[in-house]
Amino acid sequence: MLINAKLKYSLQNRILFAIIYCFYSCSFIKQIKHFMPKQITPNPERWLDEHGDYLFRYAMFRLNDQALAEDIVQETFLSALKALDHFAGKSSERTWFVSILKNKIIDHYRKAGRQGKKVDLSFRDDDDSDDFQENGFWKLDRAPSDWGDTPEKAMEKKEFYEILQKCLELLPDRISQVFTLRQIDGIDSKKICKEFEISSSNLWVMLHRARSQLRRCLDINWFGLEEK
């Protein structure tokens, strides 16, 4: 009996303590928030000066269309203005802008897909089946050539990146979009499938096509030349 009463007492006590603690900590947090400075100030002029060129470059690299990139940078800042409250202050200003920009770019891809520009699921030209003989083995003239130890040297040269950029541009629109999102931005494949309304096997095929074409393009335009 005595033990039971003691137990009850301690339990009640504990609950009481917990409740008091909760209240106390809540008010404490409120106070801290009150004292904390505002994380980000809505100052579009400064944003534009500090991050404008960076964001523009980021967009240009992915969209390769000046007018479009300018518009998207503008939209990014406008959305940032509206969503100021959501900026958690965990990341830097720039990362925050970039994350908004990324979403804008995906939105753009999706819209472009809806407007009937959806192509390239049939993968017409330069089918990689051209690389193989009928029995499934490499055609000798289209097989990967020996790159030797040039890749490291190539990466130091500026011209090489121009060719890499050109090769990326040569990819069919849809494929290059998917490839950039997956490979460069590291976006989850499920999300890409959803946004582009394609099946996952479609995505694999597109990514494979992108890699194969990119490889072949570099093979011909850079490594092939160096040997000669």
Partner 1 sequence: MSKIAMKMNQILMAVMSRLTPSCDVITHKISESMDGKISLRDKLEIRIHLLGCKLCTRYRDQLLVIQDMLNKYTESVEHEQILTDVSLSETARERIRRNLGQGKNK
With CB under 8 A as the contact rule, the residue among 151, 166, 197, 199 that binds partner 1 is 151
Would you say 212 or 221 has its CB closer to partner 1?
Answer: 212
Contacts with partner 1, 115-134, as mask; x by CB under 8 A: -------------xx-xx--
Report in angstroms how near the CB of residue 129 gets to partner 1 at its nearest.
Answer: 7
Residues 171-210 that bind partner 1 (CB under 8 A): 182-184, 189, 204, 207-208
Would you say 89 or 151 has its CB closer to partner 1?
Answer: 151
Contact region with partner 1 (CB under 8 A), list: 17-25, 31-39, 107-115, 137-145:
137-145
Helix H, strand E, coil C: the string for 104-158 is HHHHHHHHHHHHHHCCCCCCCCCCHHHHECCCCCECHHHCCCCCCCHHHHHCCCH
Report in angstroms how near the CB of residue 207 gets to partner 1 at its nearest.
Answer: 6
Report in angstroms how near the CB of residue 187 gets to partner 1 at its nearest.
Answer: 12
Contact region with partner 1 (CB under 8 A), list: 9-17, 25-33, 107-115, 156-164:
156-164
Could you count the other beta carbons within 10 Å of the beta carbon of residue 110? 15
Report in angstroms how near the CB of residue 23 gets to partner 1 at its nearest.
Answer: 39
Contact region with partner 1 (CB under 8 A), list: 21-29, 32-40, 102-110, 160-168:
160-168
> Using CB atoms within 10 A of its CB, is residue 109 exposed (0-12), middle (13-18) or buried (19+)?
buried
- Are 143 and 174 a contacting pair, CB within 8 Å? no
The whole-angstrom separation of Cα 14 and Cα 6 is: 12
> Using CB atoms within 10 A of its CB, is residue 48 exposed (0-12), middle (13-18) or buried (19+)?
middle
Could you count the other beta carbons within 10 Å of the beta carbon of residue 94? 14
What is the residue whose two structure tokens read 């003239």? 141
Q: Who's near 136: CB < 8 A, 6+ residues apart?
A: none
- Are 93 and 46 a contacting pair, CB within 8 Å? no
Residues 34-93 that bind partner 1 (CB under 8 A): 42, 44-45, 47-48, 52-54, 56-58, 60-61, 70, 73-74, 77-78, 81-82
- Are 98 and 55 a contacting pair, CB within 8 Å? yes
Chain contacts with partner 1 (rule: CB under 8 A): 42, 44-45, 47-48, 52-54, 56-58, 60-61, 70, 73-74, 77-78, 81-82, 128-129, 131-132, 135-138, 143-147, 151, 154-155, 158, 161, 164-165, 182-184, 189, 204, 207-208, 211-212, 214-215, 218-219
